[in-house]
Amino acid sequence: MDSYNGYSEAERMKKLRASYKVFPGRTHPLYQGSCQICGDSGHPVEPHTEDYSEPYRWENPAEYAVCKVCHGRLHKRFKNPVGWAAYKVHVKRGGYGADLGHDPKIACEVRQLASSLEQGKEIALLLLRPFVVTDLWWDVITVDPVSLTSPSARPR
Q: What pTM was computed for the model? A: 0.94
On whether residue 138 sits in a domain, the answer given is yes
In a domain, 130, yes or no: yes
Structural domain tally of the chain?
1
Query: Per-residue DSSP letters for 59-102?
Result: STTTEEEEEHHHHHHHHHTTT-HHHHHHHHHHHHTT--TTHHHH
Cα of first residue to Cα of last residue in the chain, in angstroms, is 21
**Residue 136 per-residue DSSP state:** -
Strands (E), the chain: 45-49, 63-67
Does a structural domain hold residue 3?
no
Per-residue pLDDT of the chain (156 residues; tens, 9 = 90+): 899 999 999 999 999 999 999 999 999 999 999 999 999 999 999 999 999 999 999 999 999 999 999 999 999 999 999 999 999 999 999 999 999 999 999 999 999 999 999 999 989 999 999 998 789 999 999 999 999 999 999 999
In terms of residue numbers, what domain contains 32? 9-151
CA distance 93 to 81: 19
Distance between CA 65 and CA 97 in Å, rounded?
Answer: 13
Residue type, 126: L
Please tell me the predicted confidence (pLDDT) of residue 122.
Answer: 84
pLDDT at 133: 74
CB 5 within 8 A of CB 153: yes
Query: How far apart are the C-alpha atoms of 24 and 41, rounded to whole Å?
Result: 23
Element spanning 24, H or E:
none
Say if 1 falls within a structural domain.
no
